[in-house]
Amino acid sequence: MNNVKKKILFFTPYATRTGSEMMLLYIVKKIDRSRFDIGIVSFANGELLKEFPADIPVFIAPKTFNMVEKISFHLGIHPTLKYLRKLAKDFKADFWYVNTTMMPETIVVAKEFSIPVITHFHEMPLTYTYLSSPDFKSIIDYSSLLIGCSQTTCEPIKDAGGKNVELLYSFIDHTLVKKDEKRTAELKRALGIPADDFVWILSGMTSERKGFDMLPDLAQELNDPHVHLIWVGASIDDGLVYYTEQRCKNSKSATKIHLVGKQKEDYYNYLNMGNGFLLTSRQDPFPLVMIEAALLGKPIVSFPSGGVSEFVKEGMGIVTQDISIKQMVKAIRSIMRGETVTSSEKSIEVASRFNIDNGYNHWITLIDKNY
């Protein structure tokens, strides 16, 4: 361990409750302040910033420009880069910790000032499309440490030429996962779901990556009046989501679809309402919601979309062979009929390993090893 106090500048894109940004919150809350001086840069003034310790300096980098910044941009002065250059001079960090790949401007400025960068990947290849080829190459080539949140995240980084790639599984704050059986029953009644019907919960943004568009096809293939599909999560305002919502609304399937939107206060009570949890993602590095569902003792049925294949052990559910609605429905029926035996105790035991203490201890080991 290096006894010299280090100065870290953490970068986050939105400061919202995405899995990657919750991970950063957990690390920052746990970090040993006798060993590290830290600051946080966000590219938006998000709600999560209020939850970081009050004495940590927070900087809001301009990403959507005001009128003066737009004029500057057209005159060849990039407001984001200008802000980061000033920060590089004023906040003399030993290294920058870039939490997600969605901030390529950080690499541009870090290179100019020869500041070492750690990039924490919470993305898989489908998400690389949001980066230009030069930006992605810079992240891979310049970062002195590349952290992936699952094996399935680390492998593509290595394939892209990443040299120093380390695994740090995502983790959650177990103390937050609380359920209220009475409230859960109230919510179930409010949706008109009979007590003996089987409920499958799905959760996440209504994106193509999360497989939201497959929901009506899943209901159609199930076509069981005693099965309910409940999607919990914020709705994205795009054409595919509108189309899918209309299909859900007009579905002729006997299986009911419930779109309950984003939930905060009752989030865990909705998860708890499920007899099981479905993950329809096409790609998902290591979704925190699967840890939460397992911690609530729910069996999981998932496509082989990424980290879920590393997480789900025997007795916890089924990961299908392919991304196939028919295979998923077969797995759903196998669990509902008891043909595939699952154990709440097993799910809880495995999920319990992915806690803040274990996660932070692994994180600090990686930092000490590299810095």
- Residue-wise pLDDT for 289-340, tens only, equals 999 999 999 999 999 999 999 999 999 999 999 999 999 999 999 999 999 9
- DSSP3 helix / strand / coil % (the chain, rounded to 5): 45, 20, 40
Q: Quick one: pLDDT band at residue 17, thresholds 50, 70, 90?
A: confident
Tell whether pTM > 0.85: yes
Predicted local confidence at residue 73, as pLDDT: 57
Predicted local confidence at residue 78, as pLDDT: 81
* pLDDT of 67 over the 90 cut: no
Task: Check: CB of residue 363 under 8 Å from CB of residue 253.
Answer: no
- Alpha carbon 255 to its chain centroid, in Å, reads 28
Instruction: Return the amino acid letter for 173.
Output: D
CA distance 311 to 281: 15
In the DSSP assignment, the letter for residue 38 is E
CA distance 55 to 310: 38
Predicted local confidence at residue 371, as pLDDT: 84
CATH no., domain 6-173+355-370:
3.40.50.2000
- CB under 8 Å, gap of 24 or more: what pairs does 126-134 form? 126/209, 126/282, 126/283, 127/101, 127/209, 127/283, 128/101, 130/102, 131/101, 131/102, 131/104, 132/104
Share of the chain above pLDDT 90, in %: 92
Q: Quick one: pLDDT band at residue 185, thresholds 50, 70, 90?
A: very high
CATH no., domain 174-353:
3.40.50.2000
- Alpha carbon 348 to its chain centroid, in Å, reads 20
The label of the residue with tokens 């970081």 reads 52
Nearest to 188 by CA among 262, 270, 248: 270
Report the largest interatomic distance among the alpha carbons of the chain, rounded to a whole angstrom.
67
Predicted local confidence at residue 4, as pLDDT: 83
Instruction: State mean pLDDT over 56-74.
Output: 75
Instruction: State the chain's mean pLDDT as an integer.
Output: 94
127-176: pLDDT as tens digits: 999 999 999 999 999 999 999 999 999 999 999 999 999 999 999 999 99
CA distance 201 to 279: 9
Predicted local confidence at residue 62, as pLDDT: 85
Domains 6-173+355-370 and 174-353 belong to one CATH topology: yes
Predicted local confidence at residue 48, as pLDDT: 95
Instruction: Return the amino acid letter for 294.
Output: A
* pLDDT of 260 over the 90 cut: yes
186-243: pLDDT as tens digits: 999 999 999 999 999 999 999 999 999 999 999 999 999 999 999 999 999 999 999 9
Domain boundaries along the sequence of the chain: 6-173+355-370, 174-353
Beta-carbon contacts of 327 under 8 Å, excluding residues fewer than 6 positions away, are 320, 321
Task: Check: CB of residue 354 under 8 Å from CB of residue 171.
Answer: yes
